[in-house]
């Protein structure tokens, strides 16, 4: 082999080694895009989740029975309210909190509201108040790309960042004729009542990495009996840039130690809207339900919107009147001034 050929081979090898990292930087791997794009998108949507609120309706179909329930969630930065009605003839429950207190109400049919409990002060010192607030929080995450887990919702970003999670693979795939990315996570059990062992999810990277499907696997320990489960949820969205979820049908499979599998099918629809202004704190109080406030709790009086309009109208009238007076005086001065010959 000639020396010239050897030198050219060496040059090509050097160029290949030099250009390969540059190409990798121009086209990052999907795992890198998951962290640089996916997590950023999920965080942004989750931070804005309070502006998307509304109603959820669901029908659970078990092997031997069917149950229906409807829930409504609204919240602002300091308050939240969760309303739930189970069945057509079942009671309506309200769980809510504001900066001053936490409360629970119940109503049957057309009867009025009955106070179940009221908890004043810091919820960290009251286990019942803390439980109410903790149970409401997951339902505010549906519009923040929250995905179904046993007894609630959670952001996928929480699991991707967790030290107990290993990202197994991030792979581009085709799902229902569209480009998608499949993310597989392996999770070390935390020893809780409901242990999630793994998550496989499909996402649309062209639309803020929103979830198309999630499959959650794990094990539940209930009264000393372990049950394996998997939850498969599909997500549909309304057209437009808001990425508002319209439905999330779900199939649950619960497999006990006896080897039998008990399927549960859930048909879930949403009526969510994007709010320009968050609800006022007054909507999260007992007064909003026609009930007296707890002893010692007083809220600042709110000025009526009509009163503000009246003040604004009066201000505009005064400004207009002053302008007309000044313009009339200027006209009189100009008319009284002597004419200067040309």
The token pair that represents 63 in the structure block: 């092997």
Q: Where are the domains of the chain?
A: 33-287
Question: Residue 253 and residue 339: Cα distance in Å, rounded?
Answer: 99
Q: Average pLDDT over the chain, rounded to whole?
A: 79
Question: Residue 126 and residue 186: Cα distance in Å, rounded?
Answer: 36
- The distance from CA 268 to its chain's CA centroid, rounded to whole angstroms, is 16
Task: Decide which of 63 and 160 is more confident.
Answer: 160
- In this predicted structure, what is the pLDDT of residue 208? 87
CB atoms within 10 A of CB 136: 19
Mean pLDDT, range 85-100, rounded to an integer = 88
Mean pLDDT, range 272-281, rounded to an integer = 90
Residues with Cβ within 8 Å of 271's Cβ and at least 6 positions away in sequence, in order, are: 54, 55, 56, 57
- In this predicted structure, what is the pLDDT of residue 152? 64
What is the band of 24 on the pLDDT scale with cuts at 50, 70, 90?
very low
Class of domain 33-287: mainly beta
Mean pLDDT, range 274-292, rounded to an integer = 93
Out of 92-96, 267-271, 285-289, which region has the weakest mean confidence (pLDDT)? 267-271
Type and span of the H or E element at 215: strand 210-222
Question: Residue 102 and residue 119: Cα distance in Å, rounded?
Answer: 5
Question: Residue 130 and residue 95: Cα distance in Å, rounded?
Answer: 12
Question: Residue 223 and residue 21: Cα distance in Å, rounded?
Answer: 55
Q: How much of the chain exceeds pLDDT 70, in percent?
A: 74
- In this predicted structure, what is the pLDDT of residue 128? 80
Question: Residue 184 and residue 169: Cα distance in Å, rounded?
Answer: 5
- In this predicted structure, what is the pLDDT of residue 279? 93
pLDDT exceeds 80 at position 1: no
- In this predicted structure, what is the pLDDT of residue 12? 44
- In this predicted structure, what is the pLDDT of residue 8? 47
pLDDT exceeds 50 at position 21: no
Q: Give 101-108's long-range contacts (Cβ < 8 A, gap of 24+).
A: 101/294, 101/297, 102/126, 102/128, 102/129, 102/132, 102/133, 103/286, 104/132, 105/289, 105/291
- In this predicted structure, what is the pLDDT of residue 259? 76
Write the CA distances from 247 to 39, 201, 268, 316, integer angstroms: 23, 17, 6, 49
Q: 73-98: b or e for each residue (b if 16 or more CB lie within 10 Å)?
A: bbbbeebbbbbbbeeeeeebbbbbbb
pLDDT exceeds 50 at position 341: no
pLDDT exceeds 90 at position 293: yes
DSSP assignment, residue 1? -
- The single residue listed with the structure tokens 């090898």 is 13
pLDDT exceeds 50 at position 6: no
Tens digits of per-residue pLDDT, 133-185? Answer: 877 777 766 555 566 666 567 778 888 999 999 999 999 999 999 999 999 99
pLDDT exceeds 50 at position 289: yes
pTM, rounded to two decimals: 0.72
What is the band of 336 on the pLDDT scale with cuts at 50, 70, 90?
low
- In this predicted structure, what is the pLDDT of residue 192? 65
pLDDT exceeds 80 at position 98: yes
Q: Which of 246, 248, 244, 245 is nearest to 267 (CA)?
A: 248
Residues in the chain: 342
Type and span of the H or E element at 7: helix 3-26
The token pair that represents 80 in the structure block: 């939240």
Task: Decide which of 265 and 193 is more confident.
Answer: 265
Q: Which of 83-92, 128-137, 179-188 has the largest mean confidence?
A: 179-188
- In this predicted structure, what is the pLDDT of residue 157? 86
């Amino acid at each position: 082999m000639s020396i010239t050929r050897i030198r050219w081979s060496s040059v090509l090898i050097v160029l290949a080694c030099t250009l390969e990292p540059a190409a990798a930087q121009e086209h990052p791997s999907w795992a890198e895009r998951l962290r640089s794009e996916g997590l950023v998108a999920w965080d942004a949507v989750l931070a804005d989740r309070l502006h998307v609120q509304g109603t959820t309706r669901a029908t659970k179909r078990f092997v031997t029975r069917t149950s229906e329930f409807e829930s409504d969630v609204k919240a602002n930065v300091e308050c939240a309210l969760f309303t739930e009605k189970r069945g057509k003839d079942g009671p309506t429950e309200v769980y809510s909190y504001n900066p001053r207190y936490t409360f629970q109400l119940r109503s049957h049919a057309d009867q009025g509201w009955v106070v179940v409990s009221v908890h004043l002060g810091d919820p960290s010192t009251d286990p019942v108040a803390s439980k109410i607030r903790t149970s409401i929080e997951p339902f505010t995450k549906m519009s923040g790309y929250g995905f179904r887990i046993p007894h609630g919702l959670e952001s996928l970003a929480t699991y991707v960042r967790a030290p107990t999670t290993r990202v197994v693979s991030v792979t581009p795939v085709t799902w229902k004729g569209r480009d998608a990315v499949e993310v597989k996570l392996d999770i070390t059990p935390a020893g809780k009542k409901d242990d999630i062992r793994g998550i496989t999810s499909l996402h649309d990277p062209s639309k803020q990495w929103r979830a198309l499907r999630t499959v959650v696997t794990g094990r539940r320990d209930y009264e000393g009996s372990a049950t394996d489960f998997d939850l498969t949820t599909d997500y549909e969205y309304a057209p437009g840039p808001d990425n508002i979820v319209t439905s999330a049908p779900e199939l649950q499979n619960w497999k006990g130690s006896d080897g039998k599998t008990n399927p549960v099918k859930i048909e879930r629809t949403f009526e969510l809207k994007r709010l320009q202004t968050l609800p006022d704190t007054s909507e999260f109080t007992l007064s909003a339900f026609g009930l007296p406030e707890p002893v010692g709790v007083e809220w600042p009086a709110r000025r009526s919107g009509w009163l503000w309009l009246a003040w604004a109208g009066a201000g505009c009238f005064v400004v207009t009147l002053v302008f007309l007076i000044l313009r009339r005086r200027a006209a009189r001065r100009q008319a009284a001034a002597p004419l200067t010959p040309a």
